[in-house]
Amino acid sequence: MADSTRSNPIHRTGFFKNLVENMEIGVIICDTDGKIVYINRTYSRFLDIDIETSLGKPATQVISNSRLPVVAKTGIAEINYPHHFKDTGFLVHRVPLRENGQIIAVVGLVLFDSATTVSKLADKLEQLESKLADVQKELATVHATTFTFESIIGKSESIKKAVGEASSAAGNTMPVLITGESGTGKELFAHAIHHASSRRHFPFIRVNCAAMPKDLLEAELFGYEKGSFTGANPKGKPGKFELAHLGTMFLDEIGDLPLEMQPKLLRVLELKEFERVGGVNVISSDFRIVSATNQNLEHLMKTGQFRRDLYYRINGIPVDIEPLRNRREDIIPLAYYFIEKTVKGPSGKGIRITPTAEKAMEQYDWPGNGRELLHVVQRTLFDVRSGTVKPENLPDYLFHSTMFPKRSAATTLNDYMKSAERFLIEQTMRQVDGNKTKTADLLGIHRTLLYRKMKLLGIDL
């Protein structure tokens, strides 16, 4: 393996080995595939590894948290980054080497035991290391759930218009406000915008403004210093805006942002500066803001629940996603897409929906939009045995639509009333994403009574 690396372009000069072999600086070099092509003796002693057997191996196999492959892909140097190995903290430079404009390798320089650096920058290194670890966690999550514009399925004019607006938005840095009912795919659009933008190699950080408790939202957005409050991480924690540096900040359900948090958010969006909770240092972050809501923000402004100045700040480029009932020609293409995503391979491609079943699906209103359609497809596929989706495979409530009568009458009034009650409860739950408290409120009954009815009607609790 050692001999095979000698043909690499970085070995042609040959002079660097004598220069760095005996330096008290760790040196490691990997190629564009992230495989090690050189380690000096200083670094091999520190790692306690054999140089010859390490050459040709992926850097992450030798050093589990190595970022050399990341720099090889992004081409962006990382200078004075904190790193930890064997309970020892040190600084690392990771620099891409180029030849004729092309990256040919990445060199890592490891600075050990610099008393001056360690003593003066200990607190800063601790913060940077915490930030880097959190960024890596966020990136791992994002890479697992990234969508592109190719993931948006539909042939209706309205979905084509929305995709066109979002595609244009990806080409600049203006704020984007995505509106649409629950389940229409607002987060999918946000991912696609980020993926198509110049910031795609940097973090995509998502915050659900409705799901975060009010007393924790500020610390989550802006971070906090150590000892800021009871139960806080003793080392402090970077906030979402800090993690979104150079990337995209996605504020989902921004219409639910508490009124007292709105001026603080406005200030961050205007200045791109903030302070951690309990801190005094001003932190700058270069992020692009994308927001989404299923609420009518204009109505919220009239009732004093949403600030007008914040609305104008986030509504740079509006992208509205129509509900499925207004673009029925997208229902069947989406259904087939979900079938192939659920049953992968040739089996999924071979499943067909009969014309009668298609008609039932097209004429149902889909109050839960694409999310509800996905749930129905997944549920239906459990009943499909012949590779064909028939009306009897579909849930009963699809046939209660006013546009499509139920395929068989109930035998008694009691059966019919139970069926209608089940339909109303299930439809209401889909509208509020399964939130039972909101379902009970919308139905005008106590939550305890809702639970009893769900149990009686066989609805999943």
Residues 146 and 123: beta-carbon distance below 8 Å: no
Q: Are 390 and 354 in contact (CB under 8 A)?
A: yes
Residues 176, 271 within the same domain: yes
The residue from 71, 96, 113 where one domain ends is: 113
| Containing structural domain, residue 404 | 326-457
Contact 34, 59 (CB under 8 A): yes
pLDDT for the residue 333: 95
Q: Are 148 and 249 members of one domain?
A: yes
Q: Within this chain, do residues 437 and 394 fall inside the same structural domain, yes or no?
A: yes
Is residue 262 very low, low, confident or very high in pLDDT (cuts 50, 70, 90)? very high
Question: For position 206, which CATH number holds?
Answer: 3.40.50.300
Strand-pairing partners, residue 87, are none
Domain shared by 395 and 316, yes or no: no
Q: Which amino acid is at 327?
A: R
pLDDT exceeds cutoff 90 at 332 = yes
Q: How many domains does the chain have?
A: 3
pLDDT for res 118: 41
**Percent of the chain topping pLDDT 70:** 81
Determine, yes or no, domain membership for 381. yes
Confidence class for position 429, pLDDT limits 50, 70, 90 = confident
Q: Which helix (H) or strand (E) holds 55?
A: none
Based on the fold, state whether residues 175 and 298 are members of the same structural domain.
yes
CA nearest neighbour of 222 among 251, 247, 243? 243
Q: Residue 314 and residue 255: Cα distance in Å, rounded?
A: 11
The three-state secondary structure class of 27 is strand
- Regarding whether 443 and 345 lie in a shared domain, the answer is yes
Residue with tokens 């999943």: 460
**Type of residue numbered 339:** I
Question: Is the pLDDT at 361 greater than 90, yes or no?
Answer: yes
Instruction: Give dist(CA 162, CA 185) in Å, integer.
Output: 11
Please check whether residues 94 and 153 belong to one and the same domain: no
Please indicate, yes or no, whether residues 313 and 192 belong to a single structural domain of this protein: yes
Contact, 369 vs 182, CB < 8 A? yes
* Whether the predicted pLDDT of 5 surpasses 70: no
More confident residue, 384 or 248: 248
Query: Would you say residue 388 has pLDDT above 60?
Result: yes
Tokens of 167: 């595609």
Q: State whether 103 and 173 are in the same domain.
A: no
Average predicted confidence (pLDDT) for the chain: 82
Region label for 25, one of left (φ > 0), alpha (ψ between -120 and 50) or beta (otherwise): beta
Beta bridge partners of 102: 99
Pairing state between β 317-320 and 288-293: unpaired
Q: 308 with 332, same domain? A: no
Could you give phi then psi for residue 433, rounded to 5 degrees? Answer: 55, 40
- pLDDT tier for residue 133 given thresholds of 50, 70 and 90: low
191 with 267, same domain?
yes
How many Å apart are CA 268 and CA 195, to the nearest integer? Answer: 24
Q: With 70 as the cut, is the pLDDT of residue 9 above it?
A: no
- Residue length, the chain? 461
The H-or-E segment that residue 99 falls in is strand 88-99
Same domain, 270 and 349: no
Domain-located, residue 252: yes
Distances (CA, A) of 397 to 347, 358, 402: 27, 15, 11
Question: At what angle are helices 413-431 and 447-457 packed, to 10 degrees?
Answer: 120
Residue 157 has a pLDDT of 95
pLDDT per residue over 272-299, tens digit each?
998 888 887 888 899 999 999 999 999 9
> For 259-366, where are the alpha helices, taking DSSP H only?
262-271, 297-302, 308-314, 331-342, 346-349, 355-363
